[in-house]
């Protein structure tokens, strides 16, 4: 399996504070990859570096074989990296459908379909985009909410809308920033199933950050554990879960099951 | 005239309000997108008036004095000139300060405003003095009531404003750019991560807002035919107040606020001409005391 995302020697300082220290990782194509670590361990900073919000002080980020280090965020998105936010960043006073459409509009409407159907006009393209947006809402069980103002949605649905909006940019790599935050166990269970289905249906690689251990252990195929900006373990869930340094970071010095 | 409250004053108020509305839209759009009170906006309006003035001397003879094509050319050039200077101001003055404290941009805006005013005063064939705006289209009154008329100029002012405002509404609601503008106004960083080129959207906003001020400049020149480099200050301030009255950042609010201001000002002027100039500021004080978010403004809750 080739790596869709490859990070080498990435470090980032905020003034004198080293938020991310010499990161190396490869996210295999098609995987569900998890990055875990306590608060302040550099998880969200990693996402901000990958998506171009910050420029890494050192190191290189390669996506789908091309160098994206320090590129502008909108260019990185258009290359195929999408993300959701830990603290929901939905466009509240736009409709649910428009939230998805605004993320869709910089993608060519499915050109294959458009050319086979010979749809030349702008209006037809608009219709197609709308249909695509509706399909996304459908997959995420939000279709009946399409016309509603996004800010009126309950929390769980907003979380799903974030995923729908990210998928609308037609990504190869989907970054999820604490997707299970604030969810109850039932919702977490549903979300795990949903993320698996999204990966299969949209052929995306999923890269997620989480605190929720059970969620990560149950969903991810490969996990990287951080502590204070440094990697303390990496591998498949079964191995990482037994790593003494992980147990120490998460459960305290004498930790164990 | 008879009573102070009459149809004639309403017509005059709507005419003045149309010009304020075109200026207020630029204020409110720019505020909505970059949270900046662009105090140079009134000067974009002035630039539009001078562009129309210049267009008249360049093309009128060639057109043989026919009014309508001349007005059309003047409108296009006024909008292009004002839109262009708005774009240039954004690029040179505001963009470098985008992620600096808001106060820097605000002070810069005041500086840009004065720069434009004094540069225009210094240009030889513009100069600091008043100039009579040429009669591009002769205006005539049409009787609409026992003691009220509407001039063809008023119809033009209201009509051009209405067409541009409808165009803007369609743009904001139904086009990709419009959706991107709404997204950027709500959350710039999230918009970036949805593939939106935020700087491009900001550029378009300045261009559109500026061009509307340019159209207002032409209409103001035709309606109140006297132009000078400082002519943008008062209408700019009043349009800003109109935007605040309607709810700054809110497009229908700016239009509503502008018409309220226009009508209030004509009524106040009919009562006492000095009161007319002051009414805008009285409105501002009342709005800030009673309903600071404006008539249609939403309650803003900053994210923690």
Report if residue B51 sits inside a domain: yes
Best A68, A102, A130 residue to mutate vs chain B (most B CBs within 10 Å) = A102
The pLDDT, as a whole number, for residue A108 is: 57
Q: How far apart are CA B152 and CA B138, in angstroms?
A: 8
Any chain B CB within 8 A of the CB of A167? no
Q: How far apart are CA B132 and CA A41, in angstroms?
A: 68
Any chain A CB within 8 A of the CB of B180? yes
Nearest one of A153, A143, A49, A47 to A94, comparing CA atoms: A153
Q: How far apart are CA B99 and CA B87, in angstroms?
A: 18
Q: How, if at all, do strands A222-227 and A230-235 pair?
A: antiparallel
What sign has the CA pseudo-torsion B13, B15, B19, B24? Answer: positive
Segment A41-59, tens digit of pLDDT: 788 899 999 999 999 999 9
Cα three-residue angle B178-B96-B100, rounded to 5 degrees: 95
Instruction: Say how many domains are in chain B.
Output: 1
For residue B298, which residues of chain A lie inside 8 Å, CB to CB? 93
Q: How far apart are CA B15 and CA B266, in angstroms?
A: 10
Residues A166-181: what's their mean pLDDT? 92
Beta carbons of B194 and A85 less than 8 Å apart = no
Kindly provide the b/e burial profile for residues B75-86, where b requires at least 16 CB atoms within 10 angstroms of the residue's own CB: bbbbbbbbbbbb
Kindly provide the b/e burial profile for residues B265-288, where b requires at least 16 CB atoms within 10 angstroms of the residue's own CB: bbbbbbeeeeebeebbeebbeebe
Bridge partner list, A34: A208, A223
Report if residue B133 sits inside a domain: no
Any chain A CB within 8 A of the CB of B98? no
Distance in angstroms between the alpha carbons of the first and the last residue of chain B: 57
Residues B185-207: what's their mean pLDDT? 94
Instruction: For residue A86, give the chain B residue with the closest CA.
Output: B190
Q: Which two tokens stand for residue A213?
A: 């251990």
The pLDDT, as a whole number, for residue A34 is: 93
Cβ within 8 Å of B, A 91-110: 91-94, 98, 101-103, 105-107
Q: Given a cut of 50, is residue B79 above it in pLDDT? A: yes
Contact indicator for B77, B51 with CB cutoff of 8 Å: yes
Beta carbons of A165 and B194 less than 8 Å apart = yes
Q: How far apart are CA B297 and CA A43, in angstroms?
A: 37
The pLDDT, as a whole number, for residue B121 is: 95
For residue B179, which residues of chain A lie inside 8 Å, CB to CB? 94, 98, 101-102, 105
Query: Quick one: three-class SS letters along A52-72?
Result: CCCCCCEEEEEECCEECCCCC
Best A51, A54, A74 residue to mutate vs chain B (most B CBs within 10 Å) = A74
Any chain B CB within 8 A of the CB of A121? no
Residue with tokens 């509503």, as numbered in its chain = B256
Nearest one of B299, B276, B295, B278 to B287, comparing CA atoms: B295
**3-class DSSP state of A42:** coil
Beta carbons of A101 and B195 less than 8 Å apart = no
Contact indicator for A177, A85 with CB cutoff of 8 Å: yes
The pLDDT, as a whole number, for residue B299 is: 63
The pLDDT, as a whole number, for residue A21 is: 84
Segment A86-141, tens digit of pLDDT: 888 999 989 999 999 998 877 655 544 444 555 555 667 777 788 888 989 999 99
Query: Quick one: three-class SS letters along chain B?
Result: CCCCCCHHHHHHHHHHHHHHHHHHHHHHHHHHHHCCCCCCHHHHHHHHHHHHHHHHHHHCCCCCCCHHHHHHHHHHHHHHHHHHHHHHHHHHHHHHHCCCCHHHHHHHHHHHHHHHHHHHHHCCCCCCCCEECCCCCCCCEEEEECCEEEEHHHHHHHHHHHHHHHHHHHHHHHCHHHHHHHHHHHCHHHHHCCCCCHHHHHHHHHHHHHHHHHHHHHHHHHHCCEECCCCCHHHHHHHHHHHHHHCCCCHHHHHHHHHHHHHHHHHHHHHCHHHHHHHHHHHHHHHHHHCCCCCCCCCCCCCC
Segment B86-126, tens digit of pLDDT: 999 999 999 999 989 989 999 999 999 999 999 999 998 88
Contact indicator for B259, B14 with CB cutoff of 8 Å: yes
- CATH number, position B208: 1.10.3470
Q: When comparing pLDDT for B4 and B139, which is higher?
A: B139
> Which residues, 6 or more positions from B109, have their beta carbon under 8 angstroms from its beta carbon?
B36, B37, B38, B39, B40, B93, B94
Of A53, A93, A169, the CB nearest to B194: A169
Distance in angstroms between the alpha carbons of the first and the last residue of chain A: 34
The kind and range of the H/E element at A194 are helix A185-202
Counted residue by residue, chain B has a size of: 304
The pLDDT, as a whole number, for residue A131 is: 87
Q: Which two tokens stand for residue A218?
A: 């149950």
For residue A93, which residues of chain B lie inside 8 Å, CB to CB? 182, 186, 298
Any chain A CB within 8 A of the CB of B179? yes
Beta carbons of B179 and A102 less than 8 Å apart = yes
Instruction: For residue B250, give the chain A residue with the closest CA.
Output: A93
Report if residue B178 sits inside a domain: yes
Q: How far apart are CA B284 and CA A39, in angstroms?
A: 47
Output the pTM of the full model: 0.87
Any chain A CB within 8 A of the CB of B299? no
Best A78, A87, A105 residue to mutate vs chain B (most B CBs within 10 Å) = A105
Bridge partner list, A28: A3
Report if residue B137 sits inside a domain: no
The pLDDT, as a whole number, for residue B301 is: 43
Query: Across chain A, what does the average pLDDT equal?
Result: 86
Residues B9-21: what's their mean pLDDT? 95
Backbone angles phi, psi at B62, to 5 degrees: -60, -35
Contact indicator for A43, A212 with CB cutoff of 8 Å: no
Confidence of residue B302 (pLDDT cuts 50, 70, 90): very low
Least confident of A121-130, B185-194, B215-224, B264-273: A121-130
Segment A217-239, tens digit of pLDDT: 889 999 988 877 778 888 898 88
Q: How far apart are CA B56 and CA B48, in angstroms?
A: 12
Nearest one of A144, A150, A141, A143 to A91, comparing CA atoms: A150
Report if residue B23 sits inside a domain: yes
Any chain A CB within 8 A of the CB of B296? no
Q: List, edge to edge, every strand of the sheet that includes A81-83.
A: A81-83, A173-177, A205-210, A32-36, A222-227, A230-235
Domain coverage including residue B21: 7-126+148-290
Report if residue B189 sits inside a domain: yes
Nearest one of A80, A82, A85, A60 to A70, comparing CA atoms: A60
Beta carbons of B195 and A74 less than 8 Å apart = yes
Q: Which two tokens stand for residue A110?
A: 């499915």
pLDDT winner (highest mean) among A32-36, A63-67, A227-231, B207-211: B207-211
């Amino acid at each position: 399996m080739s790596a869709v995302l490859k990070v080498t020697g990435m470090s980032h300082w905020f003034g004198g504070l080293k938020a991310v220290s010499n990161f190396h990782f490869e996210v295999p194509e098609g995987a569900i990859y998890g990055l875990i670590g306590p608060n302040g361990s550099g998880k969200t900073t990693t996402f901000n570096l990958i998506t171009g919000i910050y420029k890494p002080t050192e190191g290189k980020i390669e996506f789908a074989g091309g160098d994206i280090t320090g590129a502008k965020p909108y260019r990185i998105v258009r290359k195929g990296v999408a993300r959701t936010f830990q603290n929901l960043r939905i466009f509240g006073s736009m409709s649910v459908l428009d939230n998805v459409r605004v993320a869709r509009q910089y993608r060519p409407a499915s050109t294959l379909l458009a050319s086979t159907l010979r749809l030349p006009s702008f209006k037809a393209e608009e219709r197609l985009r709308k249909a695509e947006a509706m399909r996304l809402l459908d997959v995420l069980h939000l279709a009946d909410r399409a016309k509603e103002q996004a800010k009126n949605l309950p929390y769980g649905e907003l979380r799903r809308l974030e995923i729908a909006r990210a998928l609308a940019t037609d990504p190869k790599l989907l970054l999820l920033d604490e997707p299970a935050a604030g969810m109850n166990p039932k919702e977490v269970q549903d979300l795990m199933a949903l993320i698996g289905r999204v990966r299969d249906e949209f052929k995306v690689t999923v890269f997620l950050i989480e605190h929720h251990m059970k969620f990560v252990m149950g969903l991810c195929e490969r996990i990287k554990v951080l502590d204070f900006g440094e990697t303390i373990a990496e591998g498949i869930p079964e191995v990482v879960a037994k790593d003494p340094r992980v147990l120490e970071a998460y459960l305290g010095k004498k930790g164990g099951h | 005239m008879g009573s102070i409250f009459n149809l004639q004053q309403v017509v005059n108020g709507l005419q003045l309000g149309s010009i304020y509305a075109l200026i207020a839209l630029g204020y409110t759009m720019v505020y909505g997108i970059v949270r900046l009170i662009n105090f140079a906006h009134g000067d974009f309006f002035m630039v539009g008036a001078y562009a129309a003035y210049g267009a008249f001397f360049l093309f009128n003879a060639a057109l043989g004095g026919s009014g309508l094509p001349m007005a059309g050319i003047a409108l296009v050039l006024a909008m292009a000139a004002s839109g262009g200077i708005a774009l240039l101001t954004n690029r040179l003055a505001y963009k470098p300060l985008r992620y600096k404290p808001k106060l820097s941009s605000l002070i810069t805006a005041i500086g840009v405003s004065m720069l434009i005013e004094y540069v225009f005063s210094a240009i030889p064939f513009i100069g600091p003095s008043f100039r009579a705006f040429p009669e591009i289209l002769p205006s005539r009154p049409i009787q609409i009531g026992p003691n009220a008329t509407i001039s063809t100029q008023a119809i033009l002012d209201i009509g051009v404003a209405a067409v541009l405002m409808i165009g803007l509404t369609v743009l904001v609601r139904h086009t990709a750019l419009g959706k991107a503008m709404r997204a950027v106004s709500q959350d710039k960083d999230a918009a970036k991560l949805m593939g939106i080129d935020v700087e491009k959207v900001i550029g378009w906003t300045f261009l559109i807002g500026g061009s509307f001020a340019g159209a207002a400049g032409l209409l103001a020149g035709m309606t109140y035919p006297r132009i000078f480099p400082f002519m943008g200050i008062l209408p700019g301030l009043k349009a800003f107040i109109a935007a605040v009255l309607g709810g700054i950042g809110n497009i229908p609010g700016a239009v509503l606020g502008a018409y309220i201001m226009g009508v209030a000002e004509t009524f106040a002027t009919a009562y006492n001409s000095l009161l007319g100039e002051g009414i805008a500021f009285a409105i501002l004080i009342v709005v800030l005391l009673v309903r600071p978010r404006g008539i249609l403004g939403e309650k803003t809750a900053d994210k923690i």
